Structure 1
Amino acid sequence: MKAQKGPVLRDGTTVESLVDLQMREVKLRALSDPEIYEIEQRKVFGKVWLLLGHESEIPNAGDYVQRHMGDDSVIVARDRAGQIHVNLNVCPHRGMKITTHEAGNAQVHTCIYHGWAFTNSGDFLGAPVAEECMHGKMLSKEQLGLQKARVQLYGGLIWATWNIDGPSLEEFLGDTKWYYDMLYTRSNKGLEVAGPPQRFIVRGNWKTAGEQSAADGYHTLTLHRWLGEGAGAYQSEEAKKAGEELAKEMLGAEVSSPHGHALRCIDLARKIKKLTGKDPAELTVEEKLMALPPPGMTADMVSQLKENLTAEQIQVMSWMPPQVGGMFPNIIFEFLYIPQPDGGVVGSLALHTYVPKGPDKLEFTNWIFVERDTPPELKKQMIEQSVRLLGTSGMVEADDSDTWPHMTLSAKGAQGRNSTMKYQAVYETGAPKGWPGPGIVNEGFTKDDTQWHWWKYWYELMMADE
């Protein structure tokens, strides 16, 4: 008899039984069960690296924002030396939140309940009526500081984890970092946020959004069909009606990761031919990049790529650059080339996180980015376009956020919870000829591999010993 492994739910169901590794299926119950949600807080959000924001949100000493690592509120703050710290927003005295503000500037954070005070690095300073020693003598001041997360910056993005002795961020990103570098570390001055992130609540389980973020391109053909019917600048009228050109946007290379990260690298050949009138195969890498610079960059900025990327990465940037994808567990990025009525192209750069707020609720958080060096007029165009398309009320996200509550409700039904999500469209191709990048790479029309790797890593974490 096979020995049970991993958590067992109160009704005797094992987490192991929710994922069929052979058939590549996941039971819908995984999207709604409160017990699974509680286990995830420890085994997923308590173990992996989580994205909390961007350093340009807190540029000055004392600047801070309140964010969440799973269910836990944290303070993300910059100290006098410029270092960024992430501390649990829970007073060690009686459990009150240290700050209830979303953002601000403070050199000292003081709990409103009993006045215990802490530095931006989380160290305990003292309590009122110092002569009475109201913090007691059983613990030293060093022992009364806020719980500190492990912090690392990458491309200006602020990452943190409670897994103090676990894998580094580089190990967590693995081979996919080679591709993320093309987005976040490609320019001399890097990215900056275009204001505070937008946020709204969706009545859906966080995994409905998380697994879609693992490079699900297939849904674009139906859920976002309007992109091909009305917003495409490269289609004939016949192709618009048939949706053929939108299907071509699903061609390219997809990168999977054992840690659930994913990237869709879309072929630029049609766009470059449209802009230049020439066969891209006859153009050099530099000529292609000058004709169609990376989203958010101008032709004058293309030379910066050589200072920050390898020749192989630049080759991919001019050929099939990463444009959409995810970072496990709850992140999607979009670095898109959006055609304009005048025949040009304007980039849209956005990044979303889906913060769990309960088994059937998530907080959609959206950052819009621009390159610091981008000319002001282009920045303005990019921001306006990104808000319209990718903002919390944007046309694309209005589509996506409509599906997640329905999936969550389906997962609550007595019959529905035993239905399965299927990831059985499998790549059989391998990487494009001459592809220089690492990782699990496949060419062709989008398939289910990237999302299945997302679920496999979720399963691995859920089954791991604590």
Structure 2
Amino acid sequence: MLTKTSAVLSDGTKISDLIYPDTREVQMRVLSDPEIYELEMEKIFGKTWVMLGHESEIPNSGDFIVRDMGSDSVIVARDKAGEVHVTLNVCPHRGMRVALTDCGNTQIHKCIYHGWAFRTNGDFVGSPVERECMHGKLLEKSELGLKKARSVLYGGLIFATWNIEGPSFEEFLGDAKWYYDMLFLRSDKGMEVLGPPQRFIVNANWKTAGEQSAADGFHTLTLHRWLGEVGNYSKKGEDEGEGADLSPEMIGVEVSSPHGHALRCIDLARKIRRLTGLNPDELSVQEKLKALPPAGMTQDMIDQLANNLSEDQLKVLTSMPPQVGGMFPNILFGFVYIPQPDGSVVGSMTMHTYIPRGPNKLEFCNWIFAEKDAPTELREKMLKQTIQLFGTSGMVEQDDSDTWPHMTLAAKGAMGKHMTLKYQAMFETGAPEGWPGPGIVNEGFTKDDTQWHWWLYWNELMNAE
């Protein structure tokens, strides 16, 4: 349990006073204040579990990638035993960065400044001129290694935290894990990356993207309205209205979390009717899976689902599967169905992280995945389609990344910083009858609850001891 304190800014404002629980508002100052940003690096990125990549990026012994945990550069490396380690990319001698490239392969990481050397797990090997004991005698060699983070693999995804004695990764995911398992732990061999992640800089505060990733459904109706106007998305079935009306896609089940995680579980029946012509009400769970396999899977792969998921999870996967959502603090995932001109469907499996680069700057990092045993032809289609829609120059991301800088600029204004972000569209339904999954569950048209829970956890962490 977190101990609450009263984090106070230099002008006397309490962080907790910037959140209005009674009216579900957040003062826009939080999107621009440099003091708040510095506190976030310590209290959020220094305490929570942060996604750094996927183990398929470092398949061999000695492989490493350089990533970021908030404002700290880290080395993510695989040792000779196959274990993955995360260490601070700062030489404990004089503070030089040890790894200067984005990726590579080495069993020994050597600092170019004074030559101190470290193993893949961060242990200190030695310094030059050993006989002169360049590293001194005041500290044991065991005390001179790179600072080590606590790390874990989840479905091949690499997470790490500096909070060594804090909650476990499973505790951090909480009830949301039941749903995430349907995406990341569903197959026998797991997934892998389709090339290195795409990256680009956006002149915006990281939270403008972070809070949207907490399953903001409303913006799809307006900012992404073109999805209902062009290409295969504009086609409609007998039960649908105008092609530009995306509102049917806003109906489903939304899952909130006390830890800020969020999922939008979207009605699959409409897609089955539209894309296959079958009546989902007359199909069994297995028949639904064959009619429309989960995004990124083929009919040949669906037998694996029963090996890894429970009957209740399979029911959800064939009725209201999680398709978009996020993990606190800065992850968005999308496992979506992309219609093709020939009436078929290509699944997209993608994840974004929004890496803080300062109060007014974030780095957008996009991974594209496929199941390891997915056919080559499918992998190529998934890669192409995902880049076109969700890549750094993708049609969807061009929309999103245009709004975030405007929000950040507005939050700097003398009047603007006192305006508020409002999350006042509230569910009043609860979970569907017989819903088997855990968590804070509501059904119906999308609302603001998931994003509001994201801000509540942000506030809890920012005011924790």
Structure 1 CA distance, aligned partners of 2:401 and 2:261? 21
Structure 1 CA distance, aligned partners of 2:242 and 2:400? 22
* 1:177 corresponds to: 177
Contact 2:76 2:87 in 1 (8 A): yes
Matches within 5 A, 1:273-292: 273-292=273-292
Shift of 1:9: 1.0
* 1:128 corresponds to: 128
Structure 1 CA distance, aligned partners of 2:155 and 2:291? 26
Is 2:249 the counterpart of 1:243?
Answer: no
Shift of 1:273: 1.1
Shift of 1:208: 0.3
Structure 2 CA distance, aligned partners of 1:445 and 1:36? 34
* 2:446 corresponds to: 446
Stretch of structure 1 that moved more, 228-237 or 10-19: 228-237
The Cα offsets for residues 94-149 of structure 1, whole Å up to 9 and x where unpaired, read as 00000110000000000000000000000000100111101011001000001000
Stretch of structure 1 that moved more, 426-435 or 71-80: 426-435
Is 2:305 the counterpart of 1:302?
Answer: no
Q: Secondary structure at the match of 1:303?
A: helix
Shift of 1:7: 1.4
Shift of 1:179: 0.4
Q: Which amino acid aligns with 1:235?
A: K
Structure 1 CA distance, aligned partners of 2:217 and 2:96? 43
* 1:224 corresponds to: 224
Q: Secondary structure at the match of 1:46?
A: coil
* 1:339 corresponds to: 339
* 1:401 corresponds to: 401
* 1:75 corresponds to: 75
Structure 1: runs of 5+ lacking an equivalent = none
Structure 2 CA distance, aligned partners of 1:418 and 1:242? 39
Is 2:391 the counterpart of 1:391?
Answer: yes
Shift of 1:275: 3.2
Contact 1:233 1:340 in 2 (8 A): no
Structure 2 CA distance, aligned partners of 1:128 and 1:306? 56
* 2:267 corresponds to: 267
Structure 2 CA distance, aligned partners of 1:332 and 1:227? 19
Contact 2:27 2:420 in 1 (8 A): yes
Structure 2 CA distance, aligned partners of 1:14 and 1:5? 10
Contact 1:229 1:241 in 2 (8 A): no
Structure 1 CA distance, aligned partners of 2:390 and 2:141? 46
The Cα offsets for residues 307-334 of structure 1, whole Å up to 9 and x where unpaired, read as 0000110111111100000000000000
Q: Secondary structure at the match of 1:51?
A: strand
* 1:352 corresponds to: 352
Structure 2 CA distance, aligned partners of 1:159 and 1:276? 38
Is 2:17 the counterpart of 1:17?
Answer: yes
Contact 1:234 1:274 in 2 (8 A): no
Normalised TM-score (structure 1): 0.97
The Cα offsets for residues 181-211 of structure 1, whole Å up to 9 and x where unpaired, read as 0100100110000000000000000000000
Is 2:128 the counterpart of 1:137?
Answer: no
* 1:419 corresponds to: 419
Structure 2 CA distance, aligned partners of 1:253 and 1:199? 31
Shift of 1:241: 4.8
Instruction: Note the aligned Cα RMSD (angstroms).
Output: 1.3
Contact 1:431 1:443 in 2 (8 A): yes
* 1:147 corresponds to: 147
Matches within 5 A, 1:320-335: 320-335=320-335
Shift of 1:461: 0.2
Structure 1 CA distance, aligned partners of 2:104 and 2:378? 29
Stretch of structure 1 that moved more, 229-238 or 175-184: 229-238
Structure 1 CA distance, aligned partners of 2:238 and 2:248? 15
Contact 1:275 1:291 in 2 (8 A): no
**How many residues were matched structurally?**
461
Structure 2 CA distance, aligned partners of 1:75 and 1:211? 27
Q: Which amino acid aligns with 1:207?
A: K
* 1:37 corresponds to: 37
Shift of 1:274: 2.1
Shift of 1:279: 2.2
Shift of 1:233: 5.1
Q: Which amino acid aligns with 2:438?
A: P
Shift of 1:277: 2.4
* 2:255 corresponds to: 255
Q: Which amino acid aligns with 2:105?
A: N
Contact 2:234 2:243 in 1 (8 A): no
Contact 1:5 1:16 in 2 (8 A): no
Shift of 1:243: 3.1
* 2:159 corresponds to: 159
* 2:58 corresponds to: 58
Shift of 1:236: 6.0
Matches within 5 A, 1:189-200: 189-200=189-200
Contact 1:234 1:271 in 2 (8 A): no
Q: Which amino acid aligns with 1:162?
A: W
Structure 2: runs of 5+ lacking an equivalent = none
Contact 2:226 2:244 in 1 (8 A): no
* 2:410 corresponds to: 410
* 1:117 corresponds to: 117
Structure 2 CA distance, aligned partners of 1:431 and 1:191? 31
Q: Secondary structure at the match of 2:165?
A: coil
Q: Secondary structure at the match of 2:324?
A: strand
Is 2:352 the counterpart of 1:362?
Answer: no
Contact 1:432 1:443 in 2 (8 A): yes
* 1:316 corresponds to: 316
Shift of 1:278: 2.9
Structure 2 CA distance, aligned partners of 1:387 and 1:454? 28
Q: Against the structure 1 CA distance between its residues 279 and 238, is the aligned structure 2 distance closer, same or farther, given a 3 Å change threshold?
A: closer
Structure 2 CA distance, aligned partners of 1:33 and 1:79? 40
Q: How high is the sequence identity, in percent, across the aligned residues?
A: 68
Structure 2 CA distance, aligned partners of 1:81 and 1:283? 47
Q: Which amino acid aligns with 2:165?
A: D
Q: Secondary structure at the match of 1:99?
A: coil
Shift of 1:13: 1.3
Contact 2:89 2:99 in 1 (8 A): yes
Q: Against the structure 1 CA distance between its residues 5 and 78, is the aligned structure 2 distance closer, same or farther, given a 3 Å change threshold?
A: closer
* 1:460 corresponds to: 460
Q: Secondary structure at the match of 2:73?
A: strand
* 2:99 corresponds to: 99
Q: Which amino acid aligns with 1:91?
A: C
Contact 1:233 1:341 in 2 (8 A): no
The Cα offsets for residues 265-288 of structure 1, whole Å up to 9 and x where unpaired, read as 000111111233232111111111
